Amino acid sequence: MFWEEKIETMQRSDLQTLQLERLKQTVVNAANAPFYKNFFAKNSFDPSTIRTLDDARRIPFTTKEDLREAWPYGLLAVPKDELVRMHSSSGTTGRSTVIFHTARDLDAWTDTLSRSMYMTGMRKADVFQNMMTYGLFTGGLGFHYGAERLGALTIPVGAGNSKRQIQLMRDFDTTVLHIIPSYALHLSGVFEELSVDPRRDTRLRIAFLGAEPHSEKTRGRIEEFYGLKAFNSYGLSEMNGPGVAFECQCQAGLHVWEDNFLMEIIDPDTLEPVADGVEGELVLTTLKREGMPVLRYRTKDLTRIIAGPCACGRTHRRIERITGRTDDMLIIKGVNIFPVQIEKKLMGISDVGNNFQIILERKGYNDHMIVRVEVTKELFSGDLKQLESLRKKITEELRSDILITPRVDLVEPNTLPKTEGKAVRVLDNRAD
Ligand code: ADP
Ligand code: ZN
């Protein structure tokens, strides 16, 4: 059942003792980095004054901007020759940030992934097809080494080339996939085009979905189409990458690996902690990284803690699937909307296809939202009335949730832009 039973099922009090010990080490080590040395001096923070886990709240927050400013080596806490790997973030919201690892850092990171994959039921006998980009992006290599350590045959195919992906799945009896959810939806269209049914023609049984927000509806669609169990995988390059939080077989929230990360959830406006169960911004501190410790990193990701024990027996606390990033939030006519809300509604409607796009425009002082939705090909060849009634239904469903009325345009499959990496859902044409 467990990859590292002792750690995964540790009593909370022991886990907290371990966290405190590692927090103290991390903060003292961080002071070796030029960035934190200055940062501590500027904020009059003395690293030797951490005595309890609550003392972590006295450490100033680190932001993505701080990491950008410390480019390239400002956050290194060890001599450069101790490093063995560099990674970088995807740069979704601006210039990407870089992360460095020592050999021990990579070892710890790999463990969190083997542990996560094992937790979902993946075993040595599985064949693992890693459909994430290799290279600077953390999703490829992170999972790659985790799967190898688990002992599974690993196919490092990387992203893209849908037909080859399907061929590999069939020829080598792939059982486990690591895939971006929007790409999994897109790929289902390619399966259909080729008249290949993954339930009949492949041995797929598990998928890891990560790198972008997605709703329970999307998970449901993917599980249904591929005939497998899909598990949510969360991480960010500043905290290694994948392997920060992962779903267990209960599929009821993601366990945060608290022996590696100290977790806080704060109100993004007041910066004060919120109560368990209340949504806020996730803040993380590395507890086991020596090359480049990062303290109280504001992830900008919104989630909440799911209180109480998990039926799987693991004691590491769970978080709810991520709603979105604070900077993903769209403000239209004074209403706050996350793209995933729209995704959730659309993926719950059966005639809706696998892709959509949100376009924002400004006319005079008014903002308008246009939602372009791919629908099944058959609808375009059939009765126009059917198309119109679907358009009305989508408009109404969206309006009931987001409280503004978007213009809905229905388009044929494969007409909207798609990416091999994270989906770009929003096109904001509002000139500032
Ligand atoms: P960037 O921040 O430039 O996108 P990363 O590749 O490090 O670079 O991406 C990490 C971010 O991706 C997270 O902060 C989060 O916003 C998003 N993300 C990763 N996994 C998930 C997931 N399972 N659910 C929702 N969002 C996710
Ligand atoms: Zn669990």
Give 279-324 as a DSSP string: -EEEEEEESS-SSS---SEEEEEEE-EE-S--TT---S-EEPPP-E
Indicate the SS3 state at residue 241: strand
Specify the pLDDT at position 432: 63
Specify the pLDDT at position 19: 98
133 lines ligand 1 (CB under 6 A): no
325 lines ligand 1 (CB under 6 A): yes
Number of residues assigned to the chain: 432
CA–CA distance, 316 with 110 (Å, rounded to integer): 18
CA–CA distance, 407 with 394 (Å, rounded to integer): 10
91 lines ligand 1 (CB under 6 A): yes
94 lines ligand 1 (CB under 6 A): no
Specify the pLDDT at position 286: 98
Ligand 1 binding pocket mutation candidate from 299, 301, 320, 329 (most atoms within 8 A of CB): 301
Quote the strand ranges of 364-403, DSSP E.
Answer: 366-375
pLDDT digits (tens, 9 = 90+) for 219-272: 999 999 999 999 999 999 999 999 999 999 999 999 999 999 999 999 999 999
- Please determine, for residue 431, whether its predicted confidence score (pLDDT) is greater than 70: yes
- Look up tokens 């599985």; give the residue: 126
Specify the pLDDT at position 418: 87
Specify the pLDDT at position 172: 98
Residue 410 Cα to ligand 2 middle (Å)? 40
Residue 273 Cα to ligand 2 middle (Å)? 24
Once rounded to an integer, what is the mean pLDDT over residues 130-151? 97
pLDDT digits (tens, 9 = 90+) for 361-385: 998 888 999 999 999 888 888 888 9
Indicate the SS3 state at residue 259: coil
CA–CA distance, 38 with 47 (Å, rounded to integer): 12
Specify the pLDDT at position 371: 97
> Given strand 297-303, what is the order of strands in its sheet?
261-266, 280-286, 297-303, 324-325
Question: Which ligand approaches the C-alpha of residue 116 most closely?
Answer: 2
CA–CA distance, 385 with 393 (Å, rounded to integer): 12
Mean of all residue pLDDT scores within the chain: 96
312 lines ligand 1 (CB under 6 A): no
CA–CA distance, 190 with 113 (Å, rounded to integer): 29
Question: Which ligand approaches the C-alpha of residue 119 most closely?
Answer: 2
Nearest-atom number in ligand 1 for the CA of 233 is: 23
32 lines ligand 1 (CB under 6 A): no
Nearest-atom number in ligand 1 for the CA of 325 is: 16
303 lines ligand 1 (CB under 6 A): no
368 by Cβ neighbours in 10 Å (0-12 / 13-18 / 19+) ranks as middle
What is the H or E stretch that residue 55 is in? Answer: none
Chain-centroid distance, C-alpha 384: 39
Q: Alpha-carbon dihedral of residues 344, 141, 126, 121, nearest 10 degrees?
A: -50
Specify the pLDDT at position 216: 97
Once rounded to an integer, what is the mean pLDDT over residues 18-30? 98
Question: Which ligand approaches the C-alpha of residue 253 most closely?
Answer: 2
Q: What confidence category does residue 334 fall into, taking pLDDT thresholds of 50, 70 and 90?
A: confident
Please give the structure tokens belonging to residue 307. 């209180």
Indicate the SS3 state at residue 68: helix
- Whether 211 contacts 422, CB under 8 Å: yes
Nearest CA-CA partner of 127 in 159, 89, 171? 171
Which of 141-155, 280-294, 382-396 is the least confident region?
382-396
39 by Cβ neighbours in 10 Å (0-12 / 13-18 / 19+) ranks as buried
What is the H or E stretch that residue 243 is in? Answer: strand 241-247
CA dihedral (103, 260, 318, 67) positive or negative: negative
pTM: 0.96
CA-proximal residue: ligand 1, atom 10 (nearest): 236
Nearest-atom number in ligand 1 for the CA of 238 is: 7
- Please determine, for residue 280, whether its predicted confidence score (pLDDT) is greater than 90: yes
- Please determine, for residue 90, whether its predicted confidence score (pLDDT) is greater than 90: no
Residue 292 Cα to ligand 1 middle (Å)? 19
CA–CA distance, 399 with 393 (Å, rounded to integer): 10
Specify the pLDDT at position 21: 98
Q: What confidence category does residue 158 fall into, taking pLDDT thresholds of 50, 70 and 90?
A: very high
CA-proximal residue: ligand 1, atom 14 (nearest): 236
Nearest-atom number in ligand 1 for the CA of 241 is: 7
114 lines ligand 1 (CB under 6 A): no
Percent of the chain at pLDDT above 90? Answer: 91
pLDDT digits (tens, 9 = 90+) for 291-328: 999 999 999 999 999 999 999 999 999 999 999 999 88
Nearest CA-CA partner of 143 in 243, 69, 239? 243
For residue 256, the tally of other CB atoms under 10 A from its CB is 22
- Whether 52 contacts 262, CB under 8 Å: no
pLDDT digits (tens, 9 = 90+) for 168-200: 999 999 999 999 999 999 999 999 999 999 999
Specify the pLDDT at position 2: 98
Please give the structure tokens belonging to residue 394. 């989508």
CA–CA distance, 259 with 286 (Å, rounded to integer): 9
Ligand 1 binding pocket mutation candidate from 67, 212, 215 (most atoms within 8 A of CB): 212
